[in-house]
Structure 1
Amino acid sequence: MSQHEVTLLLGSNLGDTKSNIELALLKIEQEIGEIIRKSETLVTDPVEFVSNNIFCNIALVIKTQFSPVKLLDRIKSIEREMGRENDTLISGEYQDRIIDIDVVCVGNLRFWCKELKIPHHKHLYQRDFSRKLLDELSKH
């Protein structure tokens, strides 16, 4: 089975955010694939919604055998296991979250369906915190 290099962005702004990120990283390695590079964590204000809770964010590159749809299924499963109740796709709005895991890119693949758009244009081109994390990741 072929391996894909996948870039993910993780964020948490509820509870012990650093521990949430660490648990998510562990689950990703156990359930999705090997982490081959990761950025430092970055603390940021919420983007595109109002909250008093600041985010802890990290970017990483993993190797996985999963297709984009199967990858998304695994990611959503991890988010639910960790206690995320509301999904932005279902609610239609951004909210505080225990964990958020976004697929930024899968190699050079372009993939679009209702639930997933690869590459993730907001993270690549519109969000400063994302650009900072992704730039750091590319220097490793």
Structure 2
Amino acid sequence: MSQHKVVLLLGSNLGDGKKNIEQAIEMLKAGGIEMLNISIFLTSDPVEFVSSNIFCNIATIIRTHLSPIQLLDFVKSIEFEMGRTSDSKSSGGYKDRIIDIDIVKYDELKFISERLEIPHTKHLYEREFSRVLLNDVIKQNIKHIV
């Protein structure tokens, strides 16, 4: 079974954001996901919608045998189990959420479907908080290799 290196971004702006993210990480691990590195926690204002709730965010590099769609289904099941009832793609916009798990990169794959786009260009190029987290987790990854 082949292993894939994937970058995920996790965010929460309802309840205790850090605790929500830690719970999601534990659920990922319980599902067989190997955590290679986890970035610093970073707070940020909501992007592309208005809310008074601040986000708590992290980036993580994982290893998985799941395909991109299998991984998407798995992270969506975690979001649902934690209480997220709607997805921004299906609802047509962003709103407050207890947990959000985005697949940012999957090996060097370029993949586009109705449900998933890899790489996630908004997180790679447009969102400042994402770039900070991705730089942090990538630096940690380099330190582990050296």
What band does the TM-score fall into relative to the shorter chain?
over 0.9
Give the corresponding residue for 1:51. Answer: 51
Q: Aligned residues: percent identity? A: 57
Q: Which TM-score applies when normalising by structure 1?
A: 0.99
Give the corresponding residue for 1:132. Answer: 132
Task: Report the AA paired with residue 20 of structure 1.
Answer: N
Q: Report the Cα distance in structure 2 between the residues aligned to 1:109 and 1:30, rounded to whole angstroms.
A: 25
Q: Aligned-residue CA RMSD in angstroms?
A: 0.6
Give the corresponding residue for 1:13. Answer: 13
Deviation at 1:32, TM superposition (A): 4.4
Unaligned runs of 5+ in 1: none
Residue by residue over 1:62-83, the C-alpha shift from the partner in whole angstroms, topping out at 9 and shown as x without a partner, is 0000000000000100000000
Q: Which TM-score applies when normalising by structure 2?
A: 0.95
Unaligned runs of 5+ in 2: 141-146
Give the corresponding residue for 1:42. Answer: 42
Give the corresponding residue for 1:116. Answer: 116
Deviation at 1:90, TM superposition (A): 0.6
Q: Report the Cα distance in structure 2 between the residues aligned to 1:92 and 1:139, rounded to whole angstroms.
A: 35
Q: How many residues align?
A: 140
Superposed structure 1 runs of 4+ greater than 6 Å apart: none
Q: Report the Cα distance in structure 2 between the residues aligned to 1:29 and 1:60, rounded to whole angstroms.
A: 12
Q: Report the Cα distance in structure 2 between the residues aligned to 1:4 and 1:86, rounded to whole angstroms.
A: 28
